Amino acid sequence: MAGQIDCYLDISSLYSFFTLVYLLQRRELLETHDVSVDFHPVFLGGINVGSGNKPPWNLPAKKDYGAFDGKRAKEYFGLTNIETPTFFPILTLLPQRALCYIKATFPDSTFVQAWLALFRANWIPPHANVSEPDAFRDVLRATKLFSDAEVDAIYAAAQEKQWKDALLDNTQKALDKGAFGAPWMWVRNAQGKEEPFFGSDRFHFMWQYLGLPWKDIELLPAQAKL
C-alpha cells in the first residue's frame, strides 16, 4: 500500500503544534507502510479570511470551549508545559515565510527541527515573540542548526518576494483543498483517492482511509487498571 499526507500548519495554531509532534513521532512507522508525510507552512490568518472562518478570540463560544479542550489535548499529547503567551495571537508572516525558505534550502531534518523550535518558542515558557526580528533570529541561533550568516540569510529571505509568494501559494493551495483552519491535512491513499482531514483528533480516520492497521479507542471494564 502507498499514500501521502500533506500537512498544512501555522505556528499560531496550538493544534498545529500537537499535529507536528504527533506525526513526526510516527513518520518512520508510516514510511514502513509506504506512506510519506510532508509539512507545508501556511498563513492561518489568510486561511481564516479566505474561508470566512472566525478564530477563537473572535468567537466567545470557541474561546470558552478551547479552555477545556486545550487542557485535555495538552495532557493527551504530553505537552503539559504549554501556556498561551501574553502576546497571543501573533502575525506569523515572518516565521512562516522563513520556513518556506528553510524547507527549500536545507535538509528536511533541519526544516522540521527549526519548525519545532519556533513552535516551542511561541507556546512554551519562556516565550519568544518570533514575529519580531530580534526574537526570531535569537530562536534560530539557539537551535545551533544554522550559522550566524545563515540566520541572517533566512531573515533576509523572509523579506523577499519569492518567499512571500511561496507562503501565499501554500496558503492558496490549502484553501483550494477546502481548508478553513489549521492543521489541515490532504491525504492520498493507495487507490489514488484524496480527501481532507482537519484537526489533531482525526488520525484514526486517516489511518482507516489509508488502509493501515490500527487499534481503536477501547473502553475497559470497571476493574481494569489504568
| Residues acting as catalytic residues | 13
Within 10 A of 203 (CB to CB), how many other CB atoms are there? 17
- 212 touches 34 (CB < 8 A): no
For 159, which DSSP code?
T
- 10 touches 53 (CB < 8 A): no
- 203 touches 22 (CB < 8 A): yes
- Placement of cell 518556506 in the chain: 100
Pair type for strands 35-41 and 3-9? parallel
* Beta-bridge partner residues of 197: 185
The grid coordinates listed for 74 are 495538552
- 181 touches 10 (CB < 8 A): no
Rounded to 5, what percent of the chain is helix, strand, coil? 55, 10, 35
Cα 85 from chain centre: 17
Q: Report phi then psi at 195, rounded to 5.
A: -145, 155
